[in-house]
Chain A
Amino acid sequence: MSNRLLPFYATLLIAVVAYGLCVMQFPNMFSTRVLGNLLTDNAFLGIAAVGMTFVIISGGIDLSVGSVIAFTGVLIAVLVGWYGFHPLVAFAIALLLSTLFGAGMGAIIHYLDVPAFIVTLAGMFLARGLSFVITTDSIPIGHEFYSTIQSLYWRMPGGGRLTVIGGLMLVVFLGGIVLAHFTRFGSYVYALGGNRQSAELMGVPVARTTVLIYALSGFLSGLAGVVFSIYTSAGYPLSAVGVELDTIAAVVIGGTLLTGGTGYVAGTLVGVAIQGIIQTYIVFDGTLSSWWTKIVVGILLFAFIALQRVLVLVSSRKAGALAPA
């Protein structure tokens, strides 16, 4: 059992050490201002990553995340800017559509019995294409509701600002932790990822759970789109390209096994934080190319996956099972 927590502790250790090293070099990084910005800048990534955590724990994958964020942003911008909807109404419509979109993908995955990889790939094309069809331009959102939300914040000790979207991300993470560990749905997700056949034999409603998992991921991607649109005050169909990779990286670095069945929502938060710390360091340094973020994330991905492999091999040896050929 402690083996399962090891990747999580390793991630936590790396995050703390990385932050410590950054602070040693740039003492200014040790402030709630940096913390506040870290939360605000990565809010959309974190929210989407919570949905991805559930999908990956269930043994699937969702490649449509980035496209759904872009689609939601464009849809909200058009509804608010062109048709004069109140942003809250636009949010509701966007969240409903993205949830249905996710549920549809889940249904195709389950009932047509095709790999999640290819279904969500089609979803990625579809959502991105739809947002291009709506518009190819960047549409600004100038509603006063947006400026109200953007100006709201809670002043942390030390002068840092916890913005609405940063706070929303923390709330989503809390909700995700409760959903994963304290509800029946959560245990269904883990059971499905551990072994689908056993789960089915134990009476897990596989069809309903699969559809719900992807609906949840769709909903959270939509919410990430809402947050992204508040963050940028605009809708642009080319935004959030490659966010699905960042979220998958955050989930894996956070200690969730890509084979499914094992993982923690809290780990994903640490994974997002590590990516944020790297970016902040690059900003503080000022001379490094921002591409180092991608390279360091790639190296971390490799390190964590290798660590997980070793743990799995060790535990399967202990269990006396044959190591896979």
Chain B
Amino acid sequence: MISLRRAAPQLIALAVILFLNWLAFPGFFNIRIQDGRLFGSVVDVFNRGAPVMILAIGMTMVIASRGVDLSVGAVMAMAGATAATMTVAGYPLVAVLAAALVVGLLCGLLNGILVAFLDLQPIVATLILMVAGRGIAQLVTEGFIVTFNEPGLIFFGTGSFLGIPMPVVIAAVLGVLAILLVRRTALGLLIEAVGVNRSASTYAGLNSRVLLLFVYTFSGFCAALAGIIATADIRGADANNAGLWLELDAILAVVIGGTSLLGGRFSILMSMLGAIIIQAMNTGILLSGFPPEYNLIVKAAVIIMILLAQSLSLAGAGAFFRPGAKAKPQEPLRSSDPSANKAQNPA
């Protein structure tokens, strides 16, 4: 599905980061089994990275359709608040999970309607929920941090299946299902088509509105799932901080994975790899004893390096570094300049 050569930069980056982590903390690769569950720093990287991995799965499809979903962090907070409040109120686990997921689906549906039917810019459409969502989550929890002790819900955050932490299992299963869905059917291709040129795909007979509705709803679903995991992990719903800034991490994971922000070709697996790279950096900074505040600076540096690398490959210099790769691989994306879209609807 993805050739090893295309994934090479990311794999090398991950290897370098893991190597640096190992230098900083020699016990980095140690894994032990305790109480039937795997423990170790590498396991932690996957475990902590699972929510962003899940968000990145949904975000990849949204970005491939030439959109962006800024509301996922707020949706996480809303889903978490719903789950925690209903658990405290004594509802059964199935109802709690269903309600939280429905919250995510509805939020995604709202975003999708705004983008697909009202033709809003995705940044604007999802900004509305990003601003209002956290307020709604606060209303649900009535301003408190709602805590609970329901073992069934907690299992999704700290439990394990066959020794593997539950968040990793969920992320992996969701990733496999999503990849099968988009690559074993024509769905992925259609999303890419809408992302490259929505008008052309519509004229070619694609129902671009339904496709956009689908990608945003799916992203909302992923956000709700990540919200349940985050809530179960801390055994409480913190409407202020749950999922805070994770939308940016998810976008960064997708960008690191090589999906262009201008839509088109995408790879869910690579975005998940991007999420792991981000988490490996975070864990490495923590293990090496630097204050966690350095995280943000490192992230900023990584974004700038990626931008430089993409810009170089755009200029054709990329062919020099990667013999055999197609020269100017992103040329078709560039020709679809954002201003070309604007020309259709003069303000």
Chain A contact residues, CB within 8 Å of chain B? 4, 59, 61, 108, 112-115, 117-119, 121-126, 128-130, 132-133, 136, 194-197, 237, 245, 248-249, 252, 257-262, 289, 291-295, 297-299, 301-302, 305-306, 309, 312-313, 315-316, 319, 321-325
Smallest distance from the beta carbon of A132 to chain B beta carbons, Å? 3
Q: What is the minimal beta-carbon distance from A105 to any residue of chain B, in angstroms?
A: 10
Among the listed B132, B199, B291, which residue makes an inter-chain contact with A324, where contact means beta carbons less than 8 Å apart?
B199
Query: Across the interface, do A258 and B123 meet the contact criterion of CB distance under 8 Å?
Result: yes
- Are A249 and B131 in contact, with the CB atoms below 8 A? yes
Asked if B91 lies at the interface with its beta carbon under 8 angstroms from chain A, I say no
Pick the contact of A262: B131, B344, B347 (CB < 8 A). Answer: B347
Whether B139 lies near A295 (C-beta < 8 A) is yes
A292 to B132, CA, bound (A): 9
A298 CB contact (under 8 Å) in B135, B300, B343:
B135
A294 contacts B118, CB within 8 Å?
Answer: no
Contact of A298 with B119 in the complex, beta carbons under 8 Å: no
Q: Given A125-B300, A129-B300, A324-B345, are A117 and B68 neighbors across the interface (CB < 8 Å)?
A: yes
Sample of 16 A–B contacts (CB below 8 Å): A113-B311, A114-B310, A117-B261, A121-B251, A125-B248, A125-B296, A195-B343, A197-B339, A245-B130, A249-B127, A259-B347, A295-B132, A297-B131, A305-B120, A312-B347, A321-B345
> Interface stretch among B11-19, B54-62, B301-309, B317-325?
B301-309
Q: Which residues of B241-289 have CB atoms within 8 Å of chain A's CB atoms?
A: 248, 251-252, 255, 261-262
CA separation between A46 and B342, bound complex, in Å? 29
Q: Is the CB of B346 within 8 A of A319?
A: yes
What count of chain B residues pass the 8 Å CB interface test? 62
Q: How far is the CB of A300 from chain B (nearest CB, A)?
A: 10
Quick check: A298 and B304 within 8 Å, CB to CB? no
Residue of A nearest to B124 (CB): A258
Q: Other than the known A113-B334, A123-B300, what 20 A-B pairs have Cβ atoms closer than 8 Å? A: A112-B308, A113-B311, A113-B314, A115-B338, A117-B123, A118-B261, A121-B303, A129-B297, A129-B298, A197-B339, A248-B127, A294-B135, A295-B132, A301-B131, A305-B128, A324-B199, A324-B344, A324-B345, A325-B202, A325-B203
* Alpha-carbon separation in the docked complex, A305 to B248 (Å): 23
Q: Which of B136, B199, B293, B295 contacts A295 (CB 8 A)?
A: B136
B328 within 8 A of A: no
Counting CB contacts under 8 A, is B208 at the interface?
yes
Closest-CB distance, A104 to chain B (whole angstroms): 10
Q: How far is the CA of A288 from the CA of B125 in the complex (A)?
A: 27
Residues of A within 8 A of B308 (CB): 112
Q: Which residue of A lies closest to B261 (CB)?
A: A115
| In the complex, B161 has a CB within 8 A of chain A | no
Tell me what chain A mostly uses at the interface: helix, strand, loop, or mixed: helix
- Complex partner residue of B293 from A112, A113, A124, A133, CB under 8 angstroms: A133
Q: Which residue of B lies closest to A302 (CB)?
A: B128
Taking CB atoms, residues of chain A closer than 8 Å to B199 are 324-325
Hey, which chain B residues are within 8 Å of A117, CB to CB?
68, 123, 261
Contact of B129 with A by CB under 8 A: yes
- How distant is the Cα of A306 from the Cα of B308 in the complex, in angstroms? 37
* Nearest 9 interchain pairs by C-beta: A298-B132, A129-B296, A132-B293, A294-B135, A129-B297, A126-B300, A122-B303, A125-B300, A291-B138
The residue of chain B having its C-beta at the shortest distance from the C-beta of A194 within the complex is: B347
Known: A122-B303, A132-B296. A295 touches B135 (CB 8 A): yes
Set of chain A residues within 8 Å of B307, measured between Cβ atoms: 108, 112, 114, 118-119, 122
Could you tell me if A245 and B131 are in contact, using CB atoms closer than 8 angstroms?
yes
Q: How many angstroms from the CA of A129 to the CA of B301 in the assembled complex? A: 11
In whole angstroms, how far apart are the Cα atoms of A132 and B129 in the complex? 28
Kindly list chain A residues whose C-beta atoms are within 8 Å of the C-beta of B301: 126
The distance in angstroms between the C-alpha atoms of A297 and B298, with both chains bound, is 33
Are the CB atoms of B139 and A309 closer together than 8 Å?
no
Q: Which of A245, A258, A295, A315 contacts B121 (CB 8 A)?
A: A258
Quick one: which of A115, A122, A306 contacts B300, CB cutoff 8 A? A122
CB atoms of B139 and A291 under 8 A apart: yes
* CA distance in complex: A309, B128 (Å): 15
Question: Among A108, A115, A237, A294, which residue has its beta carbon within 8 angstroms of that of B304?
Answer: A108
* Distance of A188 Cα from B149 Cα, bound (Å): 60
User: How near does chain A come to B315, taking the closest CB pair, in angstroms?
Assistant: 10
CA distance in complex: A122, B299 (Å):
7
Once the chains are docked, how many angstroms separate the CA of A292 from the CA of B135? 7
Q: How far is the CA of A230 from the CA of B341 in the complex (A)?
A: 44
Contact B344 A293 (CB under 8 A): no
0/1 interface trace, chain B 136-150, chain A, CB 8 Å (1 if under): 101100110000000
List B contacts of A297 (CB < 8 A).
131-132
**Chain A residues with CB under 8 A of B294:** 129, 132-133
Taking a contact as CB atoms under 8 Å apart, the answer to whether B297 and A324 are in contact is no
Residues of A contacting B314 with CB < 8 Å? 113
B48 within 8 A of A: no
Residue of A nearest to B119 (CB): A324
Supposing A117-B123, A258-B121 touch, asked if A299 and B297 sit within 8 A by C-beta, the answer is no
CA distance A297 to B344 in the complex (A): 30
Cα(A123)–Cα(B248), bound, Å: 12
Is there contact, CB below 8 Å, between A322 and B131? Answer: no
Which residues of B have CB within 8 Å of A252? 124
Q: In the complex, A163 Cα to B220 Cα: how many Å?
A: 45
Measured between C-beta atoms, what is the minimum distance from A102 to chain B in Å? 15
Q: A114 — which chain B residues lie within 8 A by C-beta? A: 307, 310-311
Smallest CB-CB separation from A294: which chain B residue? Answer: B135
Question: Is B198 part of the contact surface with A, judged by Cβ < 8 Å?
Answer: yes
Q: Out of A59, A130, A312, which one reaches B345, CB within 8 Å?
A: A312
B202 to chain A, nearest CB (A): 4
Measured in the bound complex, the distance between the Cα atoms of B300 and A130 in whole Å is: 10
Separation in Å of the B128 CB from the closest CB of chain A? 5
Inter-chain CA distance A297–B138, complex, in Å, is 15
Complex CA–CA separation, A126 to B118 (angstroms): 35
Known: A291-B138, A321-B345. A301 touches B291 (CB 8 A): no
